[in-house]
Amino acid sequence: MSVPSLFKSSFSKAARLILPVNWPFFLHGCLLIPVFNVGFVAKAVSEWQVISLLTPIFAFPYGPFIAAVLLLCVLMIGVSFAFAFHFFVLNGDSYVASVKKSVWLIRGKRVKTLLYLTASIAAPYVFAALVLLPAGLLVYRFFGAEIVGTLFERAAGADLNAFFTDAEHRFSVLSMVFAALSGAMLTAALSLLNLPIFMMAVDVAFCRASGQRYIRPVRISSEFPKKIRQSHGGYGVVIGLLLAVFVSYQAYGLLNLMFWGSTNTVGRLMVAAHRGDTAKAPENTKAAILKAIETRADCVEVDVVETKDGVLILCHDLNLKRICGIKKDIGTMTYRELKTLDIGSHDDRAFSGERFLTLDEAMTLCDGKIKMNIELKPSKHDHELAEKAVDIFHNHFFYQKGFISSLDEKILTRVETLDPMITTCLDMFVPAKKARLCPVDIYSVKAEYLTDDLFNILEKNGKQCWAWTVNDEQNMTKLIDKGIAGIVTDHSEQALVLAKTRQVRDANFMKRAFIQSLFHIY
């Protein structure tokens, strides 16, 4: 059968998957992918904090044993279903019939088949380890740990603006880039090889179990290489272009991670403009947000309260005394009444006429221009504050563009209940010994209370750590050197300069970025 006819046959049979009777195949895939896909499992462990999620299970008596038994049960079920797709494709059976035949065929051979498939998955990685280990020993033997450490220090101190004039630092940077690119390409190759090797192993196991012959002799004529060159010479060009694109993409990602910052835990910190750029405009106003965008801050922190008629607006205080000179609570006034008030003149007459922004208006203003730290400030006048904030969040599909924070843990718990996919942040100002962990993603700690002990506790438990409100250079420098994820400040411009010039000169930071880049596809 020719290759085109094979494709045609495969697609026609695969189309049967959309029939309602075969929909369980999607659940089938959900079971098999985590069991037999090393890349998926590695991604889950590294980015979803799987280990920290399983920690409570291991804390129970016999927890590790129970977890191991559960894993073994899942593996056994996965192996029992492993041949179902063969019957579905080859015989045209329904899903239920395919699963029954698979379970029947593998009876008495589950453990043997599981060990065989596991070995097929591990084979590429074992081979790579056997190749890399001698290479690593050679590098250590000829260069030594001190020289390798010096490379990190030189690269950390390199100024990219002088990259073409500083030969010593250029060598260090290029050495790291070359090594990281090699590691990334090796990882990509292993990922690409893993699936076909596993699928071949499943095919071999199926043929063995069903008594079929799975290897047929193939005669290749001496003219075959010549024909390949003549008829498929364009394949080499396509592969070369794809390889060039991959290498360029990896190089860009590595340089971005090491020198121009990143929003992940290894990259430079996020700088959040406190209530907007309050050094240049009144807090929580449209002008302040626009100034923060102009400054190129990573994020803008805004405060949100609820009016009497249930509208969410930007304001830090629950009372109007400080910003409007009116002794009234915002929760006792309607949005129409509040919209008439001037909230800019108290700061600077040049901003007279500034009005309250709704959360919806603020998110529209920030969307695609700057991320948002949306702090919810509950009061006794609230009516479903969390629900309304989540609805607005959904309307703007703001998942990758901001997060919801609060000093009130109950509000954040409600947000997590409504939508666990929304990133949440607990603002806190308590000593380390009184701090307790709760199910939020970020902890934003008042700078005076952010001790090394508290920082280490948060880092150990996979929690991102921010600090507020940091306005002096000495504290900013201290926190940047500590490796904090974000700073809330009234002086975002100053913080941005420090973030770009100081953190990249930290050799430990450079080392973490380099190690991450070795086995990370951007």
Beta carbons within 10 angstroms of residue 5's beta carbon: 9
Most confident region among 120-124, 257-261, 330-334 by mean pLDDT? 330-334
State the average pLDDT over residues 423-440.
Answer: 79
State the average pLDDT over residues 27-31.
Answer: 65
Q: Is residue 296 situated within a structural domain?
A: yes
**Residue partners of 236: CB distance under 8 A and separation at least 6:** none
Structure confidence at residue 462 as a pLDDT band (50, 70, 90): confident
Structure confidence at residue 105 as a pLDDT band (50, 70, 90): confident
Task: Determine the pLDDT at residue 218.
Answer: 46
Question: Which of 71-80, 112-121, 435-444 has the least mean pLDDT?
Answer: 71-80
CATH number of the domain that 355 lies in? 3.20.20.190
Given phi > 0 = left and psi -120 to 50 = alpha, else beta, which region is 144?
left
Q: Is residue 367 situated within a structural domain?
A: yes
Which pair of structure tokens corresponds to residue 379?
A: 């009061």
User: Between these two residues, 457 and 82, which has the higher pLDDT value?
Assistant: 457
Structure confidence at residue 74 as a pLDDT band (50, 70, 90): confident
User: Between these two residues, 250 and 352, which has the higher pLDDT value?
Assistant: 352
Q: Is residue 378 situated within a structural domain?
A: yes
Q: Is residue 491 situated within a structural domain?
A: yes
Question: What is the tally of structural domains in the chain?
Answer: 1
Single pTM value for the model:
0.55
Question: Which of 60-64, 138-142, 380-384 has the least mean pLDDT?
Answer: 60-64
Q: Is residue 274 situated within a structural domain?
A: yes
**Structural domain of residue 420, as residue ranges?**
270-506
Q: Is residue 355 situated within a structural domain?
A: yes
Structure confidence at residue 238 as a pLDDT band (50, 70, 90): low
Query: Using an 8 Å Cβ cutoff, are 306 and 387 in contact?
Result: no
Which pair of structure tokens corresponds to residue 475?
A: 């504290």
AA identity, residue 297: A
Task: Determine the pLDDT at residue 18.
Answer: 67
Question: Which of 50-59, 255-264, 309-318, 463-472 has the least mean pLDDT?
Answer: 255-264
Q: Is residue 412 situated within a structural domain?
A: yes
Rounded to 10 deg, the angle between the 24-36 and 38-47 helix axes is: 80
Q: Is residue 90 situated within a structural domain?
A: no
Q: Name the percent of the chain lying above pLDDT 70.
A: 62
Task: Determine the pLDDT at residue 116.
Answer: 83
Beta carbons within 10 angstroms of residue 294's beta carbon: 13
Which pair of structure tokens corresponds to residue 487?
A: 């700073």
